[in-house]
Amino acid sequence: MSKIATPEKTQEYLERFYAGVQRRNPGEQEFHQAVYEVAHSIFPYISDKPHYHEKQILERMAEPDRVVIFRVVWEDDEGNIRVNRGYRVQNNNAIGPYKGGLRFHPNVTLSVLKFLAFEQTFKNSLTGLPMGGGKGGSDFNPKGKSDSEVMRFCQAFMNELYHHIGPDIDVPAGDIGVGAREIGYLFGQYKRLTNQFVGVLTGKGLEFGGSLIRTEATGYGTVYMMENMLAVKNDTIDGKTCVVSGSGNVATYAVEKINQLGGKVVTLSDSSGYVFDPDGIDAEKLAWIVDLKTVKRGRISEYADEFNVEFHQGKRPWEVECDLAFPCATQNEVSGDEAKLLIKNGCRGVSEGANMPTEQVGVDAFLEAKIMFAPSKAANAGGVAVSGLEMSQNSARISWSEGDLQTLLKKTMLGIHDQCVEYGQEPDGYVNYLKGANVAGFVKVADAMLAYGVV
């Protein structure tokens, strides 16, 4: 069979490609899912562009440049020696140094990090900034650990990671379980090991090279994406009832921006369940949650006790009626049935703050119902975009003002929105943002790879 796809053979070629990905990466379900979702958009687009096939561009993008797996040994407060596994997946550096977060969570596996690094490659391309795609982390569970234990773990993790990163090589940042505290410990250890003060991590404290609005950027950007989609329909967030999942960094700043734009957020969640507050989670209640999560490191169920509202143990918020939904917790947190329930209950728009939060059948349901659907690689790119701006500020040894950064973040999200429209608008006018994001993200990386030849 020829390697060259033709429009007639698109489906056959997609299936052959996907079978190869499954065969070479056995058991890596999340990675398969992420690659399939992208390939499904890319094959029809490249079916009449043989140069991409001849050079096996998508095949190369779905094989990480490099994966580093290492042992992390640390001592807990009782003097026990603990062993975790650390990873860094360097997926693709065609358009810039590898860039992407670190996740500390017990369900971290190679499959999870490979899916995240693959997605990051397209997301970073969409930002328009020169950043390749990477991701890393560990199966370490920060929950219930003391600050000293987290510090010792971070130091042990960096003792290996520092060999593989650098401001022009690979620049990690935060993700689930890695916030300001962890980035501080990681950066401190990098500096100690290398005797260099360079922008090797983003999401740093403002005192040591961090950028204003990096903390807020992902959540804000996810809401700007929704605002941009609504604007096409001459609509706004004002007055809309919104359902948000999660209660970490992305979720809380999404709530803050929705409130500022006049929307009402009625849910937040964590892995134990969700709270339903029909009066809305206003700025005061949100400040209470941020303190609960970042200082006391408590659970969202405590909100229900404090504000006398319902807590739905073991459930996810998608059963609550809403106009707009913002999944901001983790992958595959919206099942196919939950997606259908959202549509049935009148939800008109979904903007994904988390990475790949919707199962493929759910994504298909959103697209079939032709509701506004911003996939994660477009919707949550505001975080890594401001990380890119942090890298620029570090290289130039300057700090930009909050106003300048706010403008750049908004401009970046609008640019991403417009690229999705350019590549995703269908003949009937419906914008398939998923297709648009995948194709727009692909083209830039693919063209850079073509320019390098076969390497």
**Contact residues for ligand NDP, defined by CB under 6 A:** 107, 174-177, 179, 218, 246-251, 270-272, 328-330, 333, 353-355, 380, 383
Least distance between ligand 2IT and beta carbon 380 (Å):
6
Instruction: Return the beta strands (E) in 289-336 as ranges.
Output: 310-313, 324-326
Q: Which is nearer to ligand 2IT, 100 or 424 (CB)?
A: 100
- The answer to whether the Cα torsion of 135, 140, 143, 146 is positive or negative is negative
Least distance between ligand NDP and beta carbon 139 (Å):
13
Q: Which is nearer to ligand 2IT, 203 or 263 (CB)?
A: 203
CA 251: distance to chain centroid?
A: 12
Q: Which is nearer to ligand 2IT, 10 or 330 (CB)?
A: 330
Least distance between ligand 2IT and beta carbon 391 (Å):
9
- Structure-token pair, residue 424: 């995703």
Q: Which partner from the list ligand NDP, ligand 2IT, none does 247 bind, CB cut-off 5 to 8 Å by kind?
A: ligand NDP
In angstroms, rounded to a whole number, what is the distance separating the alpha carbons of residues 175 and 159? Answer: 20
Q: Which is nearer to ligand NDP, 155 or 330 (CB)?
A: 330
| Catalytic one of 135, 145, 264, 285 | 135
CB count within 10 Å of CB 399 equals 16
Q: Which amino acid is at 452?
A: Y
CB count within 10 Å of CB 217 equals 32
Q: Which partner from the list ligand NDP, ligand 2IT, none does 138 bind, CB cut-off 5 to 8 Å by kind?
A: none
Which residues touch 79 (CB under 8 Å, ≥6 apart)? none
**Euclidean distance between the first and the last CA atom of the chain, given in angstroms as a whole number:** 25
Q: Which partner from the list ligand 2IT, ligand NDP, none does 127 bind, CB cut-off 5 to 8 Å by kind?
A: none
Measured in degrees and rounded to the nearest 5, phi and psi for residue 390 equal -65, -40
Least distance between ligand NDP and beta carbon 269 (Å):
7
Which residues touch 302 (CB under 8 Å, ≥6 apart)? 292
Q: Which partner from the list ligand NDP, ligand 2IT, none does 155 bind, CB cut-off 5 to 8 Å by kind?
A: none
Measured in degrees and rounded to the nearest 5, phi and psi for residue 169 equal -115, -60
Q: Is 240 annotated in the active site?
A: no
Q: Which is nearer to ligand 2IT, 14 or 129 (CB)?
A: 129
Least distance between ligand 2IT and beta carbon 276 (Å):
28
Q: Which is nearer to ligand NDP, 235 or 302 (CB)?
A: 302
**Nearest residue relative to ligand 2IT (C-beta):** 101
Q: Which partner from the list ligand NDP, ligand 2IT, none does 202 bind, CB cut-off 5 to 8 Å by kind?
A: ligand 2IT
- Structure-token pair, residue 368: 């079939």
**Nearest residue relative to ligand NDP (C-beta):** 248
Q: What is the CA radius of gyration of the chain?
A: 21
Least distance between ligand NDP and beta carbon 264 (Å):
20
Measured in degrees and rounded to the nearest 5, phi and psi for residue 394 equal -65, -45
Q: Which is nearer to ligand 2IT, 172 or 273 (CB)?
A: 172
Least distance between ligand 2IT and beta carbon 127 (Å):
10
Q: Which amino acid is at 67?
A: V
The answer to whether residues 256 and 262 touch, using CB atoms and an 8 Å cutoff, is no
Helix (H, G, I), strand (E, B) or coil at 66: strand
Using CB atoms within 10 A of its CB, is residue 141 exposed (0-12), middle (13-18) or buried (19+)?
A: middle
**Binding stretches for ligand 2IT (CB under 6 A):** 99-101, 120, 123, 173, 175, 202, 355, 380, 383-384, 387
Helix (H, G, I), strand (E, B) or coil at 128: coil
Beta strand 264-270 pairing with 241-244: parallel
Instruction: Return the beta strands (E) in 105-206 as ranges.
Output: 132-138, 170-173
Residue with the two structure tokens 């908004």? 410
Q: Which partner from the list ligand 2IT, ligand NDP, none does 227 bind, CB cut-off 5 to 8 Å by kind?
A: none
The answer to whether residues 211 and 399 touch, using CB atoms and an 8 Å cutoff, is yes
Least distance between ligand 2IT and beta carbon 3 (Å):
33
Measured in degrees and rounded to the nearest 5, phi and psi for residue 278 equal -65, -20
Q: Which is nearer to ligand 2IT, 175 or 277 (CB)?
A: 175
Q: Which partner from the list ligand NDP, ligand 2IT, none does 363 bind, CB cut-off 5 to 8 Å by kind?
A: none
Q: Which partner from the list ligand NDP, ligand 2IT, none does 100 bind, CB cut-off 5 to 8 Å by kind?
A: ligand 2IT
Query: Which residues are the active-site residues?
Result: 135
